[in-house]
Structure 1
Amino acid sequence: MNHMPRDMPEIAPGTFIVGDLYVDVGQQRVTRAGSDIALPNLSFQLLVALVRAAPNVLSNESLMTQVWPGLVVSPETVNKRVNLLREALGDDSREPRYITGVRSRGYRLIASVSPATEGAPLPNLPTPIPEGFPRAAELPVPTIPIDAHPPELPTSRSRLGRWAALSVLTAGLLIAATIGVRWAARHQVEGAIPAPVAPATTPAAIGAPSRTVAVLPFDSISADPADAYLALGLPEMILNRLSRVSGLSVIARNSSFALATKSIDSREIGRRLNSGYLVGGSVQREADRLRVAVQLVDSAAGTLIWSAHFDRGLHDIFSIEDEIADQLAGALSVRLGELEPKPPPGARSANLEAYLAFLRGRTLLGRFTVAESEAAVPYFERAIALDPNFATAYASLYDARMQAADQRREDLRLARKRYGHLVDRALELDPKLGAAYFARAMWGDEPHDASAISVNPLIVARELDFRQGAALDPSNGRGLGAYAEFLYSILGRPEEGRSVLKHALWVDPMSPSARFTDAEFSLDDSGAKASEQKTLQVLELDPNFVPALQRYGKFRWLIDGELAEAIQLLEHGIALDPNNSLLLHTAMAVYLDLSDAKAARAVVAGMPQSARARGLLSMHEGDWRRAGLSAYDEEGWTSDSDYCEIWQAEALRDYALKTGELNRAIAFIKSKYYFADAPAEHLDVCNHGAAVYLSQLLAASGQPQQALALRRAAASWNDANEAKYLGGSRRLRAGVLLLDGKPDAALTELAESFRSGSYVYWWYTLNFDPVWLPLHNDSRFQAIEADVRRYIDAQRSELEALRRNGLVPRRGLPAAER
């Protein structure tokens, strides 16, 4: 099963009027009252399939074939996609205007459908309330781009478009940067064409589009394609300079360089990038000469504010950049009031080749994979070799090294010792380098136990670094997203975390990373289903964003019980990032739940031995001793998320009960699960299950009252949060009921837990969990086990179908049999 088809079906062109909608199949566009409705690729294809079948019913099977050709998907996938389409159209399934379901058959359109003839009037309804950020990457829509050298200012009212599909370093629209009108009146520049502008009467608030600028990649019009790097390097320099201007918000490079702008106009670009002003242009190199055309555009009005051109020697590229940034600040001052101070040069290299090598590394770093983090390293190293005083390159090299180590699940304390001198050198060269403070904060040292509280000196130091980074580099979407996570998860200040994330999403609106963080926050705010849905939307924005592939695969496994589909998602991530330890470990766990131990071992065979893999594989084999010793191994507790793993607390409990080493286990669990000396007061989504196991150890050690109180607190937390977190809530409740001496109720709850879709480590519950061992001969328990095994067999059959279709690799078999 898959939500990200590799090959999209081709759709025959045509235009239709569907109720109050205008559907243009050729342009892949849907409008209502002249305003575009944002639809992801799959939603658009689903709508077209329903339109072409209207008014007839289209079965689920037909929809699967037309929308997901060549893939194995479930009816639930179709249902989810229909719900997404309804949401985008503003349709209510209870009182539908467009789409209705036909029980056990499929879906059909109930809105009137007719071909749109040329020149026919479009549905003319009141303009809807503007929507918020779209959920996913969209197809570009053809509109009239602004010319690089317009003889007249555009005046036509542009239509709202859809989000463009995220791509790496797309070519820029010819609408770009520079010179302020008032500044130009005093210092005329080569080729400058000022346009009269009335200054704003009331300055807008920071973060509003009217005080936000996006610098787009320039067009390369050089004869030699190898010169295209100049069209990326020059606007990057301008962006970095402008980001230091007080009173101005600058959209992060990850978003402004990623938006496909060729077929959309300035209004739509501004809407998608939250920007009132756009900077763009073109670059042409001829031998050692450099010709640069630049423009500053008011995106809301669609009008040119100022344009200029430069014809200089290539060696003057940095002085050109300085002039453009200074003049642009002056031009914006006319509109916004004085912007002070003037943009300082910033932490760039005076060596052009070094700077361009750095830019290539930066492009790779934002992908959050081992492979691309490691691929970025040689670019940063080359930049440093060419310019040993290039502070930003040192900071980025540190970031890349640490990110790769983190994704490989290495001990970050050792990595920090190995690479810490890089970030120290960056700050030595430039004490005001925001990127260096962000990098040091993101990978800063902190305790991974109950001492990780806000007054801990290590935590305090990280917060100070984050604050410095945010103050010095306010357009750093990556750093701001990490700061938001730190505030939310580590310091327990969710409102501040949301505020910082809101700013990150503002300056980096097309960043899958920031949206992924938003999905993580929604787990606590709105529950697991909302977080799952937002994670899917991240994948619609970027189907190859590895962290979202891992997380969505985990949701399909933990919450939905779709083990085969989870493996397909995880294996897709592994293909993109084969050394990603988190992906490999998650896939290992899902393979074990699919009763494919050979594949589980094979998927982690190529990575260094880890306590996590060793422990879980040992538990699956019934080796409690090895599993328990693996759970005690400090190598398995080097990441913030390690205490969210399910198996460790079970392994520690089993080992302690069998060896009698109760006090050791009690102290270890209290420390590693952030319980301190008051476990009942520190319960959360990751440790409330461990609290139940801790209560068993307390009871075994002669502390029955403390054990009962803790079990009651954990059960209450579980009941209160079941609707939000789903997953294993019912199975945990079943165990508590059995510990409370209520076997009948416990068995009923156990059966319901599996029926709800929670099959995580089912084999441990049914084979090895000491709580359930006394009921192994109970016929009701045996019936539950039989039902579970039938379900797993069905999931295994789906996995085999995916393998036959080449969608999942065959692991654990000799090469000749794959």
Structure 2
Amino acid sequence: MDPVMFGRFAFARDNGTLTLEGKRIALGGRSSGLLAALLDARGSVVSKSDLMERVWPGATVEEGNLTVQVAALRKALGQRADHSEWIVTVARIGYRLCIEDAVEPREVSSPLPPLVVLPFHNLSGEHAQDYFADGIVDDLIIALSRFKTFAVISRTSSFAYKGRAVDVREIGRELGVRYLLQGSIRRSGNRLRVTAQLVDATTAGHLWAQNYDGALEDVFDMQDRITESVVSIVEPMIKRAEIDRTRLKPPTSLDAYDLYLQAMALVLKTEPGATLRAIELIERSLALDPNFPPAIAIATMAYTSLYDRQMPGATEETRSKGLEYARIALAAAGNDANVRVTGGISVTMLGGEYESGLAAIRQAAAENPNSVQVLGYAGVGALWASKVEEAEGYLLRAVRLNPNDYVSHWTLTRLAHIRILQGRFEEALDWASRAYAVSPSNAITHSMLVAANAFLGRLEEAARWAEALRKVSPETNFANIRRGHQMMRDQRQVEVVIEGLRLAGMPDDETR
């Protein structure tokens, strides 16, 4: 294993050896373990308890022992070029290593944005409400930890700030975090009001805030409702903030993670060329860091979307490449539900591997039932496998949790498809209209608008939407629709939509 480089130092993880420009620096076993733990945190704060567990696993030791080892490691490292310490003490919490310039060998680091959930303030003046506030925070930390698009700081570190009035930018610096989730509770009679807000720790700017009201007798139901609502909103908000942050960087400074973010912003867009541009960006990202599962998932989704919608560039070669990425994603998913569901939907849509795809989809939905992306993808994958009622359940939950999420046009469109299959055409038209409001250039959404109107006997309106479909997607015809859906388990699900298009007057040929 090659060493990790930071400053002029090189640290070999396999044998705990530290060198300075090739010259070995003497380290004891405990100091070596401490340095490894701080390096693994990639510049974030590590709590004292976590460090003691790492350096003295399974043993009960005094905090003073840790202080001795930190002092020894500081002495071995000396001072940085600006005369500051390599190891920073974060009061009452732990330590962090200043490794902004650390580089892992032969790969470009793709650091996920860190988030801390701070203790909620009890504004009621009643200590009896503390348990409720702390319970909400505990639930949020657990639920948010299921998302793998950001890193959640441990409860030990976040609760060190309980009862302290500290500027969010200072907390950001101390913990090395980019985002903070904070809140408060207030009692008024038999009612509770809980406020939650997401803050950018670098600017102190508010990204999102919301109030939740409920009766005291429903306190546990309210706690569950708040957790479910907050976590379903926070994840896409952080994604958007990260994408916006990356867009401010000059193109020449983009690393693997930034390229991944830009591809993620494009992968589900329906504007001409967006998916091909996403593929270009994500391939560049993977060339820099081929072992980053979220980037593998974006590559999988980009190729799947290209083939599903039969956009220019969709070929058997791109279908095969998407299927290859899907299998890699499933193998690399670990405990990342987003990566797993992406692999599941893609082996279903591109390879017709219904049982393995469904198994991955169901596991992902169980691992993170509050992820709108997981639920949306699970619904589409289940629909492809002809599990219509299961698909409906996933999609309706996704819309209920966060109807404004960036994948909602796909979710809404497939709900319209399900309603057409069920013969509930008015509802199909409603879902398709909502999808159109989110993404007016989506060809599949236009197809649902055509079919729903046609089945309702509104042939003039259906013809108008058919003309709009021809404008947004000139390549759309029955053959392409069948080709993009050739892996759908029950082809009748495709033919129902095609019948609606035929009723609207669309010709049954490949060229038009």
The TM-score normalised by the length of structure 1 is: 0.34
Structure whose CA Rg is larger: 1
> TM-score normalised to the size of structure 2?
0.50
